[in-house]
A and B are shown apart, each in its own frame.
Chain A
């Protein structure tokens, strides 16, 4: 098998000339160049559209926004000069955002904690996960009319106005706020889970090794460490609440001004109806009954500023100092 040394075989023929290389070929075909061109167009197009929206709203906003609009109550009047400002809608937006966040935050964090730290049995955990996804994907209009259905049951009469004849109105800050909480919920669950997920295992192990049980670990160690993620989720949720119109249209009642239900200080207010910036814009546009595009622009401008600010806040929170887990 291993042959002894022999006279070397004759040298191979001179190596063939290198294979004819298609030197004339190009590296970018016409289709490729078209593709890259389209990609550029898409990228620049998105930038242009965003710029157009921002600049347009800025121009219109400065044109029509005045301090008085922000501080006067709206009045039902067809005369533009007498229809007042949109203080009530602003208050409405604030109230709903606070209410929705107050409802969604504890529930959302609780669900996230259960999914992340407990999650037994696993079929239930998977079902809950997909359940949260389904809530996230359900259109807010559908959630809104579901909410109406629920809150019009006599059992929930205490949350809104009950007419004579026992018909529950079902529309109030409470009911709208509850459904607002529902749309913010998936965002809070998602961000909190991510924050919990990023805490390394040795932190939990250290806590258990010190004798702490799971719930104390969660309360004392994990949740404080997830503050940033929870904050991000809450801010994202607030952004979603501020921007939603469909829920307000269905569940807040169509009153321009805030109409408390009775004299009780906070409770009465929350049982009452009102409007928000979003419905104000909607109603003052040609789609609603108002023919007040100037007011609509002004309110839309304020709305946009608020939403941009909330987005900016998400960035700030997310960029905060990373907890120094030594690895």
Chain B
């Protein structure tokens, strides 16, 4: 690409339209028109579709030793929408996320109070391994295993029963998962190559495929794009939004613009407290709490 030409316009995610890569054509004067000013995000209206509640926390508190990281938080995670947890560093949003699939239990010093319900059942009452198959998670740093791409995606499916499914049996599920994650085109000829040879963005999408292969009902994303370049970020955001009708999605993000792009519901946390919780439009444009207003307008971070 000609280094002196203007950079491609920033694209907003429009769910109805397929993203394109072409620049606007050169007009008669020999100039490319500037991109139209970015229009506000177009979303599916909420009114007619009732999002189904999949998970709910009731007065959830998490403490590390004496320090309270999450304080009496109650919110709802629904299929059909993306819930974004926003807030400055250290406010407890990652801890909250990690308690939804009981990953905090792996930290010895952590204690939990309150309840978490998955489809109405208390998550403490069922097997944590089974819980994690229904509530998947994606991490900040892509963490593909030191295996081939195929083995990575098939991992969750292989390691969960007595019978080891054969490669042929697994192939359709793996292809499907890679397709949903938007990675299939790029790797379909190289499924046996080591996963660690992929680029950062590809690795993260591989991790998405890996999580999707297990067919979770809820997907938790812990700042999945913070280590990635803008193009990969864009692709992943598109994937997230396309998945929301089938899977309840919770995304923790540092990036307010990202939250504005993808979220339907927003929960703003500050120092462990849930300060504000509501629809994205309202929280960003007319927040109720003073602190939310300060944060959203960039007053602190």
Contact = CB atoms under 8 A, between A and B. Distances in A.
A9 interface: yes
B134 A11 contact: no
A30 B45 CA distance: 49
A3 interface: yes
Contacts of A14: 49
A2 interface: yes
Contacts of A3: 14, 17
A30 B164 CA distance: 13
B61 interface: no
Interface stretch (A15-23, A56-64, A174-182, A245-253): A15-23
Given A8-B45, A9-B16, A21-B217, A15 B130 contact: no
B160 A15 contact: no
Interface string B128-172: 111001100000000000000000000000001110000000000
Contacts of B20: 1
A25 B161 contact: yes
Contacts of B217: 18-19, 21
Contacts of B161: 25, 29
Given A12-B245, A14-B49, A21-B217, A2 B39 contact: yes
Contacts of B54: 18
A27 interface: yes
Contacts of B246: 15-16
Interface string A22-35: 01010111110000
Interface residues of A, number: 21
Interface residues of B, number: 33
Q: Which of A3, A18, A30 has the most CB of B within 10 A?
A: A18
A190 to B, nearest CB: 29
B80 interface: yes
A11 to B, nearest CB: 4
B93 to A, nearest CB: 25
A21 B20 CA distance: 36
A25 B39 contact: no
Interface in B1-47: 12, 14, 16-17, 20, 24, 36, 38-39, 42, 44-45
Interface in A273-311: none
Contacts of A2: 12, 14, 36, 38-39
B189 interface: no
A28 B79 CA distance: 29
A322 B215 CA distance: 51
Given A11-B48, A11-B49, A21-B133, 8 more contacts: A11-B44, A14-B49, A15-B49, A15-B245, A18-B217, A19-B215, A21-B217, A27-B128
Interface of B: 12, 14, 16-17, 20, 24, 36, 38-39, 42, 44-45, 48-49, 51-52, 54, 79-80, 119, 127-130, 133-134, 160-162, 215, 217, 245-246
Which 3 A-B pairs give the minimum distances between C-beta atoms?
A27-B129, A29-B162, A11-B48
